[in-house]
């Protein structure tokens, strides 16, 4: 998977906005050659340097994570889910990161779906929210290829989904059961969506078709991205000048 790291980085290197630093210039010698002094011998004031700024991020807050997927979608992807509303996982700050989990066993067909959202604000010292999100999305895709002892990782680019998107398909074995795992990582402006969809067939049930799982995972990811565009808090569009890390 190490050889694919540069490729994953290129996929997410799209329209991120770079930091823009504006530097002022100090006054030099005057026309009379007085080395910065006027006729009265007083030093001229240096022109103050403007405060460095960075392009504002599109989103300031995240939407509620569990409602990003409809009950209809959960019925289709996770039949017999323990809760159609999902279980929101603990987060230190729901305005910066949030995750929701659905799991269900329909006969001997097991399905688990997790949606995680991560928001990055623009910071002069760290870069634009879009650029920071781009870096994080690449890291997420790389981690998916080896998570939980995964093997046979395969990645693919998805067009028309967010600003950049990639899928990672893997296989794992737990307690003797074969799992097929699909991860879709999407960057939409300064928010990263990581959607994980796993399936297994217990007892005599067949192992799920990875292609079918992937198709469903991509459909769900599109729904999450649409929810972000509709419900996330958008910024006023002014540049950021300072602040802490997201």
Question: In the predicted model, is pLDDT for residue 246 greater than 50?
Answer: no
**What is the structure's pLDDT at 26?**
43
Q: What is the pLDDT of residues 11-69, one digit of tens each?
A: 666 444 443 433 444 444 444 444 544 545 445 566 777 778 888 999 999 999 999 99
pLDDT at res. 62: 95
pLDDT at position 214 is: 98
**DSSP designation for 81:** B
For the residues 137-154, what does the mean pLDDT come to? Answer: 94
- Report pLDDT for 167: 98
Average pLDDT over residues 8-12: 64
Helices (H), 112-202: 129-144
Calculate the CA 226 to chain-centre distance: 14
* Residues 16, 42: Cα–Cα separation, whole Å: 47
pLDDT of 107: 95
The fraction of the chain above a pLDDT of 70, given in percent, is: 77
Q: What is the pLDDT of residue 51?
A: 78
Number of H helices, E strands in the chain: 4, 11
- Residue 146 pLDDT > 80: yes
Q: How far apart are CA 133 and CA 120, in angstroms?
A: 6
Residues 161 and 226 sit within 8 Å (Cβ to Cβ): no
Query: DSSP secondary-structure letter at 186?
Result: E
The residue that leads in pLDDT, 226 or 5, is 226
Structure tokens at 182: 């699909």
What are the Cα distances from residue 19, in Å, to 12, 135, 241, 244?
A: 17, 15, 10, 16
* Residue found under tokens 């540049």: 239
Greatest distance between any 2 Cα atoms in the chain: 97
pLDDT digits (tens, 9 = 90+) for 72-128: 999 999 999 999 999 999 998 878 999 999 999 999 999 999 999 999 999 999 999
- The beta strands (E) that lie in 143-227 are given as 151-157, 164-174, 177-188, 191-201
pLDDT at 166 over 80: yes
Q: Where are the domains of the chain?
A: 59-232
pLDDT interval class at 232 (50, 70, 90):
confident
Q: How many angstroms separate the Cα of 126 from the Cα of each of 38, 154, 170, 194?
A: 41, 31, 33, 22
| Average pLDDT score over the chain | 84
Residue 237: predicted pLDDT: 65
- Residue among 48, 50, 52 at smallest CA distance from 20: 52
CATH architecture of the domain with range 59-232: 3-Layer(aba) Sandwich (3.40)
Asked if pLDDT for residue 6 goes beyond 80, the answer is no
Q: How far apart are CA 56 and CA 69, in angstroms?
A: 28
Q: What is the pTM of this model?
A: 0.79
Contact in structure between 211 and 156 (CB atoms under 8 Å)? no
pLDDT at 235: 79
């Amino acid at each position: 998977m190490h050889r694919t790291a540069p490729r994953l980085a290129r996929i997410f290197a799209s329209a991120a906005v770079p930091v823009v630093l504006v530097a002022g210039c100090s006054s030099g010698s005057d026309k009379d050659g007085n080395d910065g002094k006027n006729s009265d011998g007083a030093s001229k004031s240096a022109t103050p340097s403007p405060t460095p700024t960075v392009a504002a991020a599109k989103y300031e807050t995240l939407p509620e994570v569990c409602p990003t997927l409809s009950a209809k979608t959960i019925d289709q992807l996770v039949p017999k889910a323990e809760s159609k509303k999902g279980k929101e996982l603990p987060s230190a700050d729901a305005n910066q990161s949030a995750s929701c989990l659905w799991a269900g066993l329909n006969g001997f067909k097991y399905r688990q779906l997790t949606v995680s959202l991560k928001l990055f604000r623009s910071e002069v010292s760290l870069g634009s929210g879009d650029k920071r999100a781009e870096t994080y999305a690449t890291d997420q895709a790389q981690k998916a290829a080896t998570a939980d002892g995964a093997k046979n990782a395969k990645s693919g680019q998805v067009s028309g989904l967010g600003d950049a998107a990639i899928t990672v398909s893997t296989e794992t074995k737990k307690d003797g059961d074969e799992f097929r795992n699909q991860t879709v990582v999407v960057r939409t402006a300064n928010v990263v969506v990581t959607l994980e969809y796993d399936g297994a067939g217990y007892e005599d049930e067949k192992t799920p078709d990875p292609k079918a799982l992937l198709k469903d995972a991509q459909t769900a990811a599109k729904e999450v991205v649409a929810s972000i565009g509709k419900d996330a808090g958008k910024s006023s569009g002014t540049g950021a000048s300072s602040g802490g890390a997201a």
